Amino acid sequence: MARRVGLIDTTLRDGAQSLWATRMTTAMMLPILPKMDEVGFDAIETYSTVHFDTAVRYLKEDPWERMRLIRQRVKKTPIRILGMSQSFSISRVLSDDVVELFNRTCARNGTDEFWITAAMNDTRTSEVSIRTVKAMGLRADGGIQFTVSPVHTDEFFANVAREFAAMGVDGIVVKDASGLFTPERARTLIPAVMAAAPGLPVIVHSHCVTGMGPAANLEAVAEGASAIWTCSQPLANGSSMPSGDSMTRHLSWLGYQVDTDPELQREIADYWYAVAKRHDKPIGAPAEYDPAYYAHQMPGGMISNFEAQLDQLGLRHKLPAVLEEIPQVRKDLGYPNMQTPYSQFLATQALLNVLHGRYEVVPDEIRNLALGYWGRTPGPVDPNVLDKVAGGREPITVRAGSLVPPTVEKARAELGRHTSDEDLLLSLFFMPQLLEDLRAAGPIRLDDPLAGSPLVEVVRQAAAGRKIKSFSLSQPN
The per-residue pLDDT for 473 is 41
**pLDDT tens-digit map of 49-67:** 889 999 999 999 999 999 9
User: Residue 339 carries which DSSP code?
Assistant: S
The per-residue pLDDT for 422 is 97
Confidence band for 462, pLDDT divided at 50, 70 and 90: low
CB 415 within 8 A of CB 424: yes
| Range in 75-84, 86-95, 104-113 the model is least confident about | 86-95
CB 209 within 8 A of CB 239: yes
The per-residue pLDDT for 88 is 77
The per-residue pLDDT for 465 is 54
The per-residue pLDDT for 475 is 36
The per-residue pLDDT for 26 is 97
**Measured between alpha carbons, how far is 235 from 238 in angstroms, rounded to an integer?**
9
**Measured between alpha carbons, how far is 329 from 320 in angstroms, rounded to an integer?**
15
**Measured between alpha carbons, how far is 422 from 64 in angstroms, rounded to an integer?**
7
Residue 79 burial (10 A CB sphere; 0-12, 13-18, 19+):
buried
CB 283 within 8 A of CB 273: yes
Selection from 234, 227, 232, 282 nearest residue 259 by Cα: 227
CB 245 within 8 A of CB 266: yes
**pLDDT tens-digit map of 405-459:** 999 999 999 998 889 999 999 999 999 999 999 999 999 999 988 876 544 544 5
**Measured between alpha carbons, how far is 225 from 203 in angstroms, rounded to an integer?**
6
Selection from 118, 114, 106, 119 nearest residue 134 by Cα: 114
CB 323 within 8 A of CB 332: no
pLDDT at 463 over 90: no
pLDDT at 471 over 80: no
How crowded is residue 263: how many other Cβ atoms within 10 Å of its Cβ? 9
Confidence band for 317, pLDDT divided at 50, 70 and 90: very high
What average pLDDT score do residues 350-361 get? 94
Tell me the CA distances in angstroms from 451 to 57, 194, 205, 446, one per residue in order: 24, 46, 32, 11
φ and ψ at residue 87, rounded to 5 degrees: -145, 160
End-to-end CA distance of the chain: 59
Residue 319 burial (10 A CB sphere; 0-12, 13-18, 19+):
middle
What single-letter amino acid sits at 325? Answer: E
Confidence band for 90, pLDDT divided at 50, 70 and 90: low
What average pLDDT score do residues 358-383 get? 94
What single-letter amino acid sits at 144? Answer: I
pLDDT at 292 over 90: no
3-state SS class at 82 = strand
The per-residue pLDDT for 452 is 62
Q: Is pLDDT larger for residue 362 or for residue 459?
A: 362
What value does the mean pLDDT of the chain take? 91
CB 188 within 8 A of CB 200: no
The per-residue pLDDT for 474 is 38
Residues 6 or more apart in contact with residue 269 via CB below 8 angstroms: 232, 233, 234, 245
What average pLDDT score do residues 382-394 get? 93
Q: What is the dihedral of CA 396, 398, 403, 406, to 10 degrees?
A: 160
pLDDT at 112 over 80: yes
Confidence band for 379, pLDDT divided at 50, 70 and 90: very high
What average pLDDT score do residues 295-316 get? 79
The per-residue pLDDT for 342 is 85
pLDDT at 460 over 60: no
**pLDDT tens-digit map of 238-277:** 989 999 999 999 999 999 999 999 999 999 999 999 999 9
CB 93 within 8 A of CB 116: no
| Range in 69-83, 205-219, 339-353 the model is least confident about | 339-353
**Measured between alpha carbons, how far is 380 from 370 in angstroms, rounded to an integer?**
9
Selection from 254, 187, 182 nearest residue 4 by Cα: 254
Q: Kind and range of the H or E element at 175?
A: strand 171-176
What average pLDDT score do residues 96-111 get? 97
The per-residue pLDDT for 84 is 87
**Measured between alpha carbons, how far is 60 from 389 in angstroms, rounded to an integer?**
38
The per-residue pLDDT for 477 is 30
**Measured between alpha carbons, how far is 86 from 125 in angstroms, rounded to an integer?**
6
What single-letter amino acid sits at 285? Answer: A
The per-residue pLDDT for 91 is 65
| pTM for this prediction | 0.91
Tell me the CA distances in angstroms from 241 to 7, 11, 15, 362, one per residue in order: 12, 9, 7, 34
The per-residue pLDDT for 304 is 65
Q: Kind and range of the H or E element at 51?
A: helix 49-54
What average pLDDT score do residues 335-346 get? 87
pLDDT at 302 over 90: no
What average pLDDT score do residues 22-34 get? 96
How many CA atoms lie within 13 Å of 104's alpha carbon, on the beta-carbon side? Answer: 14
The per-residue pLDDT for 472 is 40
User: Residue 101 carries which DSSP code?
Assistant: H
The per-residue pLDDT for 338 is 87
Q: Kind and range of the H or E element at 425?
A: helix 421-429
**pLDDT tens-digit map of 144-201:** 999 999 999 999 999 999 999 999 999 999 999 889 999 999 999 999 999 999 999 9
How crowded is residue 283: how many other Cβ atoms within 10 Å of its Cβ? 15
Task: Tally helices (H) and strands (E) across the chain.
Answer: 22, 8
